[in-house]
Amino acid sequence: MDELLDPAGLSLMRSITKSRFRRFENEQRGAQAIIDLLQKHLNLKIEYDPRAGVLLVTPPGELPIISLFGSTQERLTRLAQHRGCSSEAAFETAIDTVHELCNSGSTELEIIRRYAFALKAIKDQGGDIDDFRDASQAKSPKPRTKPGAPDIEELKRLLVSRPKRRRS
């Protein structure tokens, strides 16, 4: 590891990083040139987001043609397999769900946002989301808090941010 951080190693890493960045910029310019050409000569509206893995092509007077790729397509395929349906049906369900969420109230959106962040954190720490779902749906036989006035010091202790656990 030490040899990677010596002057020669750092110079090599710098060279590789600059080369990759130039290649990325060239690919971006090439994609934008293709988009501009298609929009101009075929009168198409094209929206392209390589990071999100989404390409929308809208012919004049028609609905957009949606194409997913990369990790977005992989997630959609896993969703379809999990639901036992086609990718198209899984995509339609996902779009309907997002539409409903966007039209729900701010309280519901905040609850969903917190739930999603909690699930992502559990997954990132190697936890099993199915266990979380099972536990969250189970009814607790005992109340979580003691009867009586809340203990302010205990609340303060619980509200202090905890250090993140490192994955091994």
DSSP letter string, 50-66: TTTTEEEEE-TTSPPEE
Q: Note whether 50 and 71 are within 8 A (CB).
A: no
| pLDDT number for residue 35 | 92
Q: Note whether 137 and 130 are within 8 A (CB).
A: no
Q: Note whether 38 and 44 are within 8 A (CB).
A: yes
| pLDDT number for residue 140 | 44
What pTM was estimated for this model as a whole?
0.53
Q: State both tokens at 152.
A: 């302010």
> How do the pLDDT tens digits run along the chain, 168 residues long?
556 678 888 888 999 999 999 998 999 999 999 999 999 999 999 999 988 888 999 999 999 898 888 988 998 898 899 889 998 888 888 888 878 877 777 777 777 777 777 777 777 777 766 655 554 554 444 444 555 555 666 666 666 655 555 555
| pLDDT number for residue 19 | 93
Half-sphere CA count of 135, side-chain side, radius 13 A: 8
What is the number of other CB atoms lying within 10 angstroms of the CB of residue 76? 17
| pLDDT number for residue 141 | 46
